[in-house]
Amino acid sequence: MTVDERAEELASDLGVDKEEVKEDLENLVEYSVPIDEAVQSLRRKYGDGGGDSGSTLSKESIDEITTADGNVTVTARVLNVGKRSIRYQGSDQVIYEGVLADESGTIDYTAWQDFGLSPGDTITAGNAGVREWDGSPELNLGESTSVAFEEETLDVPYDVGGEADLVEIETGDRGVDAEVRVAEVERRTIDGRDGETEILSGVLADETAKLPFTDWDPHPEIEEGASVRVENTYVREYRGVPSINVSEFSTVESLSEPVAVSERGTRLSIGDAVEAGGVYDVETVGHVISIRDGSGLVQRCPECGRVIQKGQCRTHGEVDGEDDLRVKAILDDGTGTVTAVLGDELTEQVYGGDLEDARDQAREAMDQTVVADSIRERVVGREYRVRGHLSVDEYGANLDASSFDEVADEPADRAADLLSEVNV
Ligand SMILES: [Zn+2]
C-alpha cells in the first residue's frame, strides 16, 4: 500500500481529516520511521490505543505476549538502549528503543519518554502497550506506563549491550555499538526537512563484513581510513541491505589501534545470505543453473535506464531504447538460489565480446536472443565465485555482481575440494 492509501485507511478508521493524517504520515516516513510504526504513532496521536486498551494483563514471560494483547505488565532485563529523535506531531521527539529479554525470549520496545533505562537494568514495566510490527509484538512504554527498577538481576541467556560485529547487524537493530574502519566516506548536501544539511555517507568495515552508513550529524572522527568506535547507532534498510545510521545522539571515538578489515567479501552460503534479508558485499559460490529472460543484448529506456520490452518502457511508454549488455544468471549452491545480475563489463567477459560484437551477431541472425544463447552455452552448468551486494525483495533475491569468476580458474581451491571429497 502507498502512503496515500495508508493515510486514507487510517483517516477513515479514526474519523479524522485525511489530508492532516497524510501530512503527518509523510513527515514520519520522510524521517525514516517505518510505515507501520508511523501508523501506530498516528493512531496514538488521534486517540486510538491501537488495539484493546481496556485491561492490563500481567505476563509471566515475554514469550506469552501476543499481538492480540492490549496492555501488559512484564518483568525483563534491558539488553540495549538506543536513543534517537523522530519528528512527531510537528516537533522533534526523542525516543529510546531496544530489546527487553527474560528467560523465555526477547521483545523490542520503544520508550516515548526518558525512563532512565540502561543496558543491564532489570525492570518491571507496568501497563506497557503492545503493538504489532512485522507480525510480531513490540512494547510501547509511554505516558501511562510505569517503570520500576528491580534490585534482583534477572538472568537471561542473551548478551547485554549493543556490541556487534558488522556481519551480525540486521535491519531494525537499535542501540548498536561497533568498532570499525571507515572504508569509504563522502560528504554530501541533502535537502532535508529543515533545509539543506550536510551528511556523511560511505562504507564501514571490520573483519567480518562491510556495511553502508549515513552520519546525519557529521562527526569529525569519521574520515577515510580512520578506525573508530561508534555507539548508539540504529540500522535501517537502504537499497535492500542493512545500513548503519549515526545520529546526533551517537558517540564516535577514534581508536589508536587500527581495526582489522577483510579484503574479501563476507563469505556466506546463498541460503544464509538470503535468510539474512540482504547482505552488503557478500561472496558466494554456486553453479549457474540457467540464464533468465532479459539477458544478453537488451535495450534500456533513455529516461530511467530500465530494460524495456519491444520499445515500451513501463513508465515512459514508447521510447527509443539504447543497446546494452547484461546477464541475469540463476546461481544455486544447494542451500538456495539467487539471481546474479552482471553489468556490461562482466557480461563482456562471460560473452567473450563487446556491444559491437553482440550487435553484429544479432544482425547476422536477425534475432537478438542469439546473444543470450551464446552466454547460456558458456556459463550454464559451471561453477562461479560471485561477489557483490545481495538484496531480497518480493520477487526474490538478487546479487548485483562486482566480480564473477569461474571457480575452475582457482587450482588451489579445486585441489582442496578434491582432497575433502577423497577424505570423505
Ligand atoms: Zn523509462
Compute the average pLDDT of residues 125-146.
Answer: 91
CA of 420 to the centre of ligand 1 (A): 50
* Orientation of helix 344-351 relative to helix 369-379, angle to 10°: 70
pLDDT for 34 equals: 75
CA of 214 to the centre of ligand 1 (A): 29
Q: Is the Cβ–Cβ distance between 77 and 153 less than 8 Å?
A: yes
pLDDT tens-place string over residues 339-376 = 999 999 999 999 999 999 999 999 999 999 999 999 99
Mean pLDDT lowest among 102-111, 188-197, 225-234, 403-412? 403-412
Greater confidence (296 vs 60) lies with: 296
Query: Alpha helix (H) ranges present in 67-192?
Result: none
pLDDT for 21 equals: 82
pLDDT for 91 equals: 83
Residue of 350, 380, 188 whose CA lies nearest to 289? 380
pLDDT band with cut points at 50, 70 and 90 for residue 409: low
CA of 355 to the centre of ligand 1 (A): 21
CA of 305 to the centre of ligand 1 (A): 6
Phi, psi of 389 (to 5 degrees): -95, 125
pLDDT for 420 equals: 62
pLDDT for 49 equals: 46
Compute the average pLDDT of residues 283-308.
Answer: 95
CA of 328 to the centre of ligand 1 (A): 20
pLDDT for 421 equals: 58
Compute the average pLDDT of residues 308-322.
Answer: 93
Angstrom distance (rounded) from CA 264 to CA 175: 27
Q: Is the pLDDT of residue 52 over 50?
A: no
Angstrom distance (rounded) from CA 204 to CA 182: 5
pLDDT band with cut points at 50, 70 and 90 for residue 26: confident
CA of 309 to the centre of ligand 1 (A): 11
CA of 314 to the centre of ligand 1 (A): 6
Angstrom distance (rounded) from CA 317 to CA 44: 43
CA of 322 to the centre of ligand 1 (A): 11
- Which helix or strand (DSSP H or E) is residue 207 part of? none
pLDDT for 7 equals: 82
pLDDT tens-place string over residues 62-100 = 999 988 888 899 999 999 999 998 887 778 889 999 999
pLDDT tens-place string over residues 266-277 = 899 999 999 888
Compute the average pLDDT of residues 1-30.
Answer: 79
CA of 326 to the centre of ligand 1 (A): 17
Greater confidence (232 vs 265) lies with: 232
CA of 324 to the centre of ligand 1 (A): 15
Q: What is the mean pLDDT of the chain?
A: 89
Q: Is the pLDDT of residue 413 over 80?
A: no
pLDDT for 50 equals: 43
Burial classification of residue 314, based on how many CB atoms lie within 10 Å of its CB (0-12 exposed, 13-18 middle, 19 or more buried): exposed
pLDDT band with cut points at 50, 70 and 90 for residue 382: very high
CA of 317 to the centre of ligand 1 (A): 7
Provide the whole-model pTM. Answer: 0.72
pLDDT band with cut points at 50, 70 and 90 for residue 416: low
Mean pLDDT lowest among 192-201, 345-354, 395-404? 192-201
Q: Is the Cβ–Cβ distance between 128 and 73 less than 8 Å?
A: yes
pLDDT band with cut points at 50, 70 and 90 for residue 39: confident
Residue of 118, 97, 101, 114 whose CA lies nearest to 33? 97
**Strand, coil or helix: what is 160?**
coil
Angstrom distance (rounded) from CA 419 to CA 413: 10
- In eight-state DSSP terms, residue 155 is P
CA of 4 to the centre of ligand 1 (A): 23
Alpha-carbon Rg of the chain, whole angstroms?
A: 25
CA of 195 to the centre of ligand 1 (A): 30
For residue 418, what are the contacts with CB-CB under 8 A and spacing of at least 6?
Answer: none
CA of 320 to the centre of ligand 1 (A): 10
Residue of 134, 112, 136 whose CA lies nearest to 125? 112
CA of 361 to the centre of ligand 1 (A): 26
pLDDT for 348 equals: 97
Q: Is the pLDDT of residue 423 over 60?
A: no
CA of 171 to the centre of ligand 1 (A): 30
CA of 226 to the centre of ligand 1 (A): 41
Give Cα separations from 159 to 103, 104, 184 (angstroms).
12, 14, 30
